[in-house]
Every structure is written in C-alpha cells, then in structure tokens.
Chain A
Amino acid sequence: MNRKRRTEILIQNGGNLAKELAEVIKKKYEYQPISEPEYGLTMIKMRESAKKSLFYIGEVMVTEAKVEINQSIGIGIVIGMEDELAQHLAIIDAAYRANLPETVEWEPVLETTAKQLEEQRAREQRVIFETKVDFETMEV
C-alpha cells in the first residue's frame, strides 16, 4: 500500500491502529529516535479556481517525529499537537522503508479499516444530505 493511502487511513482512524502496529515493531526491533516529536509549521499551497493559479492560504501546525530502524529513517507528520501519533507514524514509515515482513501482514488490516472509515464518512454525508434543498417551481 502506498504511503498516501496508508497515512490517510492511520490518521483518520484517530491513532488506535497506528499504536497497535507500532507496538508490534517496538517489541521486535531496535528503534532509534532521530528526533523526538516536535511542533512545526506546514505552509499550505492552494490552487484557486478563477485563474487556476497557486497561492498560500496560510500555515497549519503539525507534529513531526523521526525514527530509525535497520538504518532506514521513518517520518511521522500529522496536523495538530499529536506527539504519540507522530511517533507511531514514524515507526510505521520506517518499517515500510526497511521492508520489514510485518508490513505485508498489515495490508488486510489497513484495507478493513479503510472500508470502515469510508462507511463512516458515507454515513456522515447521508446525514448532511438531509439538508439538501428540494426546489419546487411555483406557478405565478
């Protein structure tokens, strides 16, 4: 599973799954924190729809951590003040970069979680659809 999809599932899940997967790695492998979770900024680049040009809307606060496993450095970045989640994401990223065998076993768990998250989102959207306007044309 590519990094974009993997990190989306782990962050949208809220942290429980990331903790579970990171614990597996922490028990079996030596890991070295390169940098403890720290707060920083990410500047957000937007594409505006009038002339399709780029501009900066502003910054967002993120937490970032880096760890090393088997000489592979993993990075965890997440919006907000999320020290624990950033560290777990970094461990999981390092596990993927080091091609640890556990990462293959994670695929079905990640896919199941993705499905649950999609269903939850679809439910949220169906609730919002309750406010959809049903216009009727009046005869004048």
Chain B
Amino acid sequence: MGYVAVKGGTKAIEASIERLKYERLKGEEVLEIKTILATMRSLVDQVMSEASLYAPFLAALAIKQAGGSMEEAVFLMRAHRSTLPRHYYSLPVDTESMFVERRVSASFKDIPGGQLLGATNDYTHRLLDFELIEENTDANHQWLRDYEAKLAANMAQEQEIQYFPKVVDYLRAEGLFDYYPEDNDPPKDVTKESIQFPTTRSERLQVLTRGQTGAVTALGYASLRGYGQVHPTIGEVRVGNVPIHVQHPYENNNDEENAFYIGEIKITEVESFVPVHVKKDNKEELEFEIGYGISYGQNETKAIAMSILDQCLENPHGEFPTHDEEFVLLHIDSVEATGFISHLKLPHYVTFQSKLDSIRQVKKGAETGEN
C-alpha cells in the first residue's frame, strides 16, 4: 500500500478557532485585565518568569487570551517577545539594593536586620474561604480603611529606608564561606546562541530561572529525595523590588551616575547553604557551598528548587540525573517541553503509515517463512 498524503481541513480549522472563542465567551462574563493584575499576582509572576519577559500587563493579557492555560500564556509571551527589538542591556543588578518586602532565613533566627514575613501563604489555614463567594467591593474598601487606620495608629517612629545586607556576607566575614572576587566575564545569552555542553555558569542560571515552575520544582524535589546529593538549609529568601539602570547608548561618559534609571522589577532570590565534604591535607573536612536561585516576581518554591539544581549542576555526578546538566537543562523549558509533547497529537499519517508498512512486511515475512 502506498502512502496517503492529504490536504484540506481549512474550513474545519476556521470553525475550530471560532469554537474556541465561543468557549471563552459563552459564560457571558468579561474578565478585565486590571482584575487579573489586581487579584492574580502569583499567576502573573509565574507567566513572566517562565516566559523570561517582565511585563505584568502583557502577562495578564496572555492569561486572559489563553483562558488560564499556563503553557499557552507562556507561549504567547515568548512569541510576542520575539517581535520586539532589544535595544539595551542593563547594568549589573545587585540585590543588596533591593527594597525588601519579605526576608526569611531557615539557618539563623537572628539575622542582621531581622526576619520580615511580608505577605505569604505559609502560615494560613488551607481551608476554603466560603466568605469569598459573597465578597463585594464596599466591604473590601471598608477592610482596607480599617487596616490602614490600624497601621497608622501603631506606626513605629520615622526612620530612614533600610537596605538589608546578605546573610552570607556575615558568614564570609567570619571565614565560614569562601570569598569570591567579582567575576565580570560577560555572560552568555541562551536566547542568542544555543547551549553547548559543558555549559557555562551563566547559561545554567539563565535556563534554570526561565524554567517551568513545575519542572524545576519536581527535579529539585527529586534531588532531595535521593536522586541527587544536595540537601540544603535555606540561608536567605528575599522578595522585593530592585532598580534597573541602563547606560546611555552613545555618550562616552560611562559613570554609573550618568546612567538612566528605568524603573523597578520584583524578584525572589534564594541562597541555600549546602554542606559538602572536601579533602584538605589528606583530612576530610565539612564545608558549605551556596546554591543560588532567582525568579521574576514572588515564586519562592521555584527559586528554592533552582538553588538546589544550581548546586547539583555545579557538582556533576554520573549516578544522579539531577546532577546531569544535559538532563536538567534540556527538559525544563515550558515552551520546548509542552511544544514537543503536544505536537504528538498533530497529523503523523505518513510516519505512522511507514511504521505500519514495516510491521506488515515483518508479519508477511514471518508468515511466508512459516509456510
């Protein structure tokens, strides 16, 4: 039997796209972009992080257009990103300049500057709040007014804005962690050049931070459960806004004070402390290394998992897949993974016919042989 080549389906595809719109509209409710921005903070953050594009308004639009599908929203953002020119690279962002809104440590209770819980689900009861069904704007306004009045009454004395030093810097000062001088080697950019193995540290961090939240979390978890050799203690998780600056494109004055401030972005940053055994003077000693994790927006689970995987990939180990950079880095990208999996449902008639032909030939040969 010959191969079956087919064409057509244009009308069906058009009708299918109309059907998709119908499914989005049939409930006759309109979800405003501003509503998504105001109430779906974590979802917007996750889409921006996995799309590797910080643009809250566009992320909210993508969520609306995708009907809440994360993979579709991330795909839309990546596609849109490819239509925009890149005119600038920022000056290096140092997170010590972060306006911190949350900062906790699992390693020390007394960290310089203190632990700030900020806004977190960590201490909430995971019980459905049925009162939200009847939520209304008047009651919300009243709650906000009461909250602000309570804060104003209890407000501490005026003080200057505090910027928080890193917990790890105190440990470095004590000689408990290795000190590294600033490494100003230009980073590689995986969006410009495909990664080659072995990778550089900059490539690993870029791929990990734009990885799919679920995939990064799953592999970090696998490492903890024994499919890896990293079990850290969190030195510091910090969430807050960092300022972004760019140099003037053609002025010769490269003084940082002459740069443009262009605004702020919110990020989550994690430093994990990982115990490692090292040999010094023929004696085995215990030392600590740092796993580094970072994510756009507030996404602490992903940033912590990334810090585990960073440390895994810094120490390759043939026995564990989570220490294998090819295994980790090539399987955590949302668009690549969902794109490859979902393409399987598209027509493969020729490929499959070819496989069927092979099986038929084998079976025919077997039957002829038996006779």
Contact = CB atoms under 8 A, between A and B. Distances in A.
B160 interface: yes
Contact of B263 (A41, A49, A79, A128): A79
A49 B271 contact: yes
A65 B232 CA distance: 47
A80 B168 CA distance: 33
If over half of A's interface residues share one DSSP class (helix, strand or loop), that class is named, otherwise mixed; here it is mixed
Chain B interface size band reads 35 or more
Interface stretch (B112-120, B217-225, B316-324, B331-339): B112-120
Of B118, B189, B246, B290, chain A has the most CB atoms within 10 Å of the CB of: B246
Contact of B92 (A47, A64, A131, A132): A47
Given A4-B258, A41-B81, A126 B116 contact: no
Contacts, number: 217
A44 B208 CA distance: 15
A6 B294 CA distance: 29
Contacts of A128: 100-102, 116, 118
A28 to B, nearest CB: 24
A47 B86 contact: no
Interface stretch (A16-24, A55-63, A102-110): A55-63
SS of B interface (majority): mixed
Contacts of B246: 42, 77
Interface residues of A, number: 53
Contacts of A58: 49, 52-54, 206, 209-210, 296
Nearest to B205: A55
Interface string B213-243: 0000000000000000000000000000001
Contacts of B284: none
Nearest to A128: B101
